[in-house]
Chains A and B, each alone.
Chain A
Amino acid sequence: MSGWTKHSGQAVALPFHNIDTDQLIPSRFMSTPRSEGYGRFLLHDLRRDESGSEHPHFPLNRHKDTSIVVAGRNFGSGSSREAAVYALVDAGIRAVFAPSFGDIFSGNAVNNGLLPALIQDADFELLLRALGDASRPAHVCLDARHISIDGTTIGFQIDPGRRTKLINGWDDIDLTMQHAAAIGQHKRRLDSHAPWVRPVTERTGS
């Protein structure tokens, strides 16, 4: 995964609260290998009718070049399915701005280079007004932690550790391996001090 600090793209509003990960990707698509691409599944059942035709009024159907989304509170709540992030990322989305996010979703987002940017309720209203139902050019800066849309600039929050990770495109496994000695020590201490922690298995017998 490559890191990034600035992104310019088209922003649209999805002015709904509680867009859960079951909406972001319905479960029936989740057995698809990632290599086949998840973009077409994004918000599938909200965007399409039963026959699979797109609802012409849905914001993401009207504006196919969207890379920044402004959404209501509790975005990405519910199921831990990282496939919800794959659907966003594969559809070209780089940043989501919302007053609150599902905790597991935000972690998954950062692990895939997608920015979950936390904004104030009042700023959410401000961005909604700035966007209306149009698509507007926007500029996101991770360093300065702000987004500008048509001359409206507002700040956002992101956990500093997560921001560093997004900027550098770091992979946690590589970082963790640097702590191998401390991990080994912890494990040995457990084995000697808390013999009950290891599960009793056929292999360990009694």
Chain B
Amino acid sequence: MTAPRALLDRLWSAHEIVLREDGSSLLWVDRHLVHEGSHHAFAKLAARKASVAEPELTFAVVDHYAPTRERDKGLAPQIAYMIDTLRKNAANHGLKLFDLRDPGQGIVHVVGPEQGLTLPGLLINCGDSHTSTHGAFGALAFGIGATEVAHVLATQTIWQKKPAAMRISIDGELGPGVSAKDIALNWIARLGADGAQGHAIEYAGSAVRSLSMEGRMTLCNLSIEGGARFGMIAPDETTFAYVKGRAHAPRGLAWEAALNDWSELASDEDAEFDRDIHLDGSEIAPTVTWGTSPEHAIPVTSTIPDPETLANGKAQAVRDALDYMGLPAGHPIQGTPVDQVFIGSCTNGRIEDLRHAAAVLSGRRAKVSGLVSPGSALVKTQAEQEGLDRIFIDAGLEWAASGCSMCVGMNGDLVEPGKRCASSTNRNFRGRQGPGALTHLMSPAMVAAAAVTGTITDVRPLLKGRAI
């Protein structure tokens, strides 16, 4: 009898080459994704005069600095330099590059799955913390720093200590207008932004099984905001249907062999988890953040916390956050005026996200300005085929090209100092969307509701009689 194993154990042992005495494992990397920000790693490689060990397993994407408005002319020198540097590095090392004009260009965590590069059972690294996204396919996917990126480039392996296993089960049916984003903000608010540190999360339960791949990716994407480097979901028919026929996915006999191997990718029923958390999906309301950490999240129907009612250690942090956000303590969050909205990012820039937002915006006008940046060029094309672009444009929002855009502002899409933005992104950190920017995280449907009313609003009444 072998001991019951969790999905994490299966994925780990399949990739472990060496187990060192100190507990670190040397793991084989099946896919490595790089972007403009990887320039430090390429510089390290050049300093050693090393080459890329497995160019066919390494894929480069222009996303962080990708212009979303004028793509051709007048690029700021710094942006042009970053994109050119990636082009040169990709060309020097013979890497496939999804360049600005490539029909497959987009945000790295949207492109990987969409191109069939992300598959169940793989180990996927990228020098980006939201690499946890790819775990939605039952892959071992985690973000790494520049020194580690250089290591993967040079050796196609990574040293990593096996994390503890944690399961978050969400059962019960999600209410209308409630999505994976709301699930994630809820568990992060409950456990804290460091609540899952040192753990690999496996998401389970009926509410997770009913999520589309888009929703699962949103959920796994946000694992890092709760401190977990890994988020994963055992693959099932939903996963296989998404992967089948994608450009780089296995075909023919290889597909059959893959399905066979993938059917093993689940936790045994009696597998032990170091931590086991349960949420009732039917109790989750549309959720928004009020502060400067993703853990500062509350149901939209709730009130902004009051430091006076909190213990000393917590009160100061809340006071600082409210001070930065310019919000009154103890007031309802609903009705807070916003200056602008943003829909996009690797968290919520996929086709389903755009459909949700469009369902709210259809036939309505936005009271504030806003930017919609699809997660990839393919998402953009599909949205245009479905007529979603018209809905956004008719509502008065700007329909732009794909990239990280206002999630991080590296391409110049910034929120001005002191402006308040309802955003479908992942980080409400101080200055994340630009120096002095005030960010409220929420689902794309909630962002659309904020656009329609010009304030933070419960999306549910706006969805009456509409399908989402």
- Give me the interface of A with B, judged by CB distance under 8 Å: 16-18, 20, 22-23, 26-28, 30-31, 33-34, 45-46, 50, 72-74, 77-83, 85, 100-105, 107-108, 111-112, 159-161, 164, 172-173, 175-177, 179, 182-183, 186-187, 190, 194-201, 203-204, 206
Number of A-B contacts (CB under 8 A): 190
- Min Cβ gap B300→A in Å is 23
When distances are taken between beta carbons in the complex, the residues of chain A under 8 Å from B65 are 31
A191 CB, min distance to chain B CBs, angstroms: 12
Partner of A23, one of B30, B128, B430: B430
Decide if A200 touches B248 in the complex (CB within 8 Å): yes
Complex alpha-carbon distance, A81 and B148, angstroms: 11
Besides the contacts A22-B427, A182-B26, what 15 more A-B pairs have beta carbons closer than 8 Å? A18-B292, A18-B317, A20-B427, A22-B429, A26-B431, A27-B408, A30-B410, A82-B145, A103-B197, A103-B229, A159-B22, A186-B28, A190-B28, A196-B119, A206-B252
Question: Is the Cβ of A74 less than 8 Å from the Cβ of B145?
Answer: no
Asked if B299 is at the interface of the complex by the 8 Å CB criterion, the answer is no
Contacting residues, chain B, for A34 (C-beta < 8 A): 40, 43
Choose, from B153-161, B214-222, B269-277, B370-378, the stretch at the interface.
B153-161
Give the residue of A82, A160, A190, A206 whose beta carbon is less than 8 angstroms from that of B251: A206
Q: Are B145 and A161 within 8 A (Cβ)?
A: no
**In the complex the two chains form, is B30's CB within 8 Å of A197's CB?**
yes
Given A28-B410, A83-B40, A85-B145, answer yes or no on A50-B417 (Cβ-Cβ < 8 Å).
Answer: yes
Task: Answer whether residue B463 sits at the interface, using C-beta atoms and an 8 A cutoff.
Answer: no
- Chain B residue numbers with a CB within 8 Å of A74 are 192-194, 197, 227, 293
> What are the residues of chain A within 8 A of B31 when measuring CB–CB?
199
B148 contacts A107, C-beta separation under 8 Å = yes
8 Å CB contact of B143 from A85, A100, A104: A104
**What distance in Å separates the Cβ of B155 from its nearest Cβ neighbour in chain A?**
5
Question: Within the complex, which residue of B23, B96, B435 is in contact with A45, where a contact is CB–CB below 8 Å?
Answer: B435
B56 near A203 with CB under 8 A, answer yes
Mark B118-154 against chain A: 1 for CB-CB distance below 8 A, else 0. 0101100001110000000000000111111011001
What residues make up the interface of B, taking CB atoms closer than 8 Å to A?
A: 17-18, 20, 22-24, 26, 28, 30-31, 37, 39-40, 43, 48, 50, 56-57, 65, 78, 81-82, 96, 116-117, 119, 121-122, 127-129, 143-148, 150-151, 154-157, 159, 161, 192-194, 197-198, 224-225, 227, 229, 247-255, 257-258, 261, 292-293, 295, 317, 320, 408-410, 417, 427, 429-432, 435-436
Residues from chain A with Cβ under 8 Å of B224 in the complex = 78
Candidates B57, B81, B155; contact of A31 at CB < 8 Å: B81
Q: Say yes or no: A161-B56 contact (C-beta < 8 A), given A79-B129, A100-B194.
A: no
Q: Closest chain B residue to A175 by CB distance?
A: B159
